[in-house]
Homo-oligomer: A and B are copies of this chain.
Amino acid sequence: MIIALDAMGGDNAPVSTVHGAVLAARESKHKILLVGQEKVLSEELLKYHKRYDLTSLNIEIVNATEVIGMGEHPAKAVRQKKDSSLSVCAKLVADGKADAFVSMGNSGAAMAAALFYLKRIEGVLRPAISTTFPTIDGSCLIADMGANVDCEPAHLLQFALMASIYSEKVLGITNPRVGLVSIGEEPSKGNKLTLAAYELIKNTNLNFVGNLEGRDIPASKADVVIADGFVGNVILKFGEGLAEMILKLVKKGLKKHPVAWASLPFLWLAIKDLRTKVDYNSTGGAPLLGVNGVCVIGHGRSESKAVKNAIFAAANAAEHDLTHEIKAAVEKYSVNAQSEKTNE
A residues with a Cβ closer than 8 A to B are 134-136, 146, 149-150, 181-183, 190-192, 194, 213-219, 227-231, 233-254, 256-257, 259-260, 262-263, 266-267, 269-274, 277
CB distance from A60 to the nearest CB of B (A): 35
Q: Is there contact, CB below 8 Å, between A218 and B192?
A: no
Other than the given A214-B239, A218-B238, A263-B263, 13 more pairs (CB < 8 A) read A149-B190, A149-B191, A191-B228, A214-B234, A214-B235, A214-B238, A214-B240, A217-B242, A242-B242, A250-B250, A250-B274, A253-B272, A253-B274
Q: A191-B230, A218-B238, A219-B241 are in contact. Are A266 and B269 (CB under 8 A)?
A: no
Question: Which residues does chain B contribute within 8 Å of A229, judged by CB atoms?
Answer: 183
Q: Once bound together, how far apart are the Cα atoms of A81 and B126, in whole Å? A: 47
Q: Is there contact, CB below 8 Å, between B246 and A257?
A: no
Partner of A271, one of B190, B215, B250: B250
- Of the candidates A194, A237, A270, the one having the most CB atoms from chain B within 10 angstroms of its own CB is A270
Partner of A266, one of B241, B249, B257, B272: B257
Q: Once bound together, how far apart are the Cα atoms of A242 and B243, in whole Å? A: 8
Q: Once bound together, how far apart are the Cα atoms of A146 and B190, in whole Å? A: 10
CB distance from A300 to the nearest CB of B (A): 12
Q: Which 9 A-B pairs have the closest CB atoms?
A: A263-B263, A215-B241, A214-B237, A253-B270, A260-B266, A214-B238, A218-B245, A149-B191, A254-B270
